[in-house]
Amino acid sequence: AGRLKGKIAVVTAAGQGIGRAIAEAFVAEGATVYASDLTRDKLDDLRRVKRAKLDVRSTRAVEKYAEKIGDIDILVNVAGFVHHGTVLDCSEKDWDFSFDLNVKSMHRTIAAFLPGMLRRAGNSGTSASIINLSSGASSLKGAPNRYTYGATKAAVIGLTKSVAVDFIRQGVRCNAICPGTVRSPSWEARVEELGQSVGGTDKAMEMFVSRQPMGRVGEASEIAALALYLASDESAFTTGTAIPIDGGWTL
């Protein structure tokens, strides 16, 4: 314990899945954690965090949130949505929604929190860290029926590298995490939905697991362990990376 002692962290979409696991891991390592989600109720049983409703699609809400919190060390951008289908299934509205939630939200939070992160990095002499949730389905790999999703998550990697290179001498690092399939409430919903067309949830589960070379899906806590490393000063020499954590999916 204590790997994030004295650090102040902001985690979006902390209500469930990967975001929740990251918030819990950061708290356990001594950080002060500001946990937000679009749905405030999902945060109710998250212990020892500062909870808030935050819609990362609202620039004004993000700016107000950043003003209220002030200077921070760690920003984790988790909010994202999986649109299903090919280019032929993607309306302009679908495209705009996915890019707004999966990519522009990160622009909003980084633009709002970075000035304070630069101040903290300058004052404390340690590195501030921005962590963006991308995916194996991105520039790393084309996944079937993940057209818009893959495009957004590739954009996240580009955004990550740009921020990393622009602030590399100012104590702010920026990295992307690229998970394979990870058990989460929204993944379980995707399995059930697929189950309806392939003859049952068990069959759908088998299909998801069979595309994982390791023969299992990941756990949110495993992604949180990587986020914890990237958030801490243990990773002080790491910036601009897009790290796969996927049971060999992109292998």
Residue type, 191: V
Residues 85-124 as x/- pattern, contact with ligand NAD by CB under 6 A = ----------------x-----------------------
The minimum distance between CB 38 and ligand NAD, in angstroms, equals 4
Catalytic residue among 34, 65, 147, 149: 149
Residue 39 or 170: the one with the smaller Cβ distance to ligand NAD is 39
Gap between the Cα atoms of 146 and 149, Å rounded:
5
| Main-chain phi, psi angles of 109, to 5 degrees | -70, -40
* CA–CA separation, 4 and 228 (whole Å): 8
SS3 86: coil
- The answer to whether 240 and 170 are in contact (CB under 8 A) is no
Contact between 55 and ligand NAD per CB under 6 A: yes
Q: Does 42 sit near ligand NAD (CB under 6 A)?
A: yes
Task: Classify 240 in phi/psi space as left (phi over 0), alpha (psi -120 to 50) or beta.
Answer: left
Which amino acid makes up residue 73?
D
- Interface map 209-248 toward ligand NAD (x if CB under 6 A): -----------x----------------------------
149 noted as active-site residue = yes
Could you say whether residue 15 binds ligand NAD (CB under 6 A)?
yes
CA 43 – CA 125 distance, rounded (Å): 32
Report if residue 79 touches ligand NAD, rule: CB under 6 A.
yes
C-beta of 17 vs 171, nearer to ligand NAD: 17
Q: What is the largest CA-CA distance in the chain?
A: 58
C-alpha 134 chain-centroid distance: 7
Q: x-or-dash pattern for ligand NAD, window 154-193, by CB under 6 A?
A: -------------------------x-xx-xxxx------
Instruction: Compute CA 32 distance to the chain's CA centroid, rounded to the nearest angstrom.
Output: 18
Contact residues: ligand NAD, CB under 6 A: 12-13, 15-19, 37-39, 42, 54-57, 78-80, 82, 101, 133, 135, 179, 181-182, 184-187, 220
Catalytic residue ranges: 149
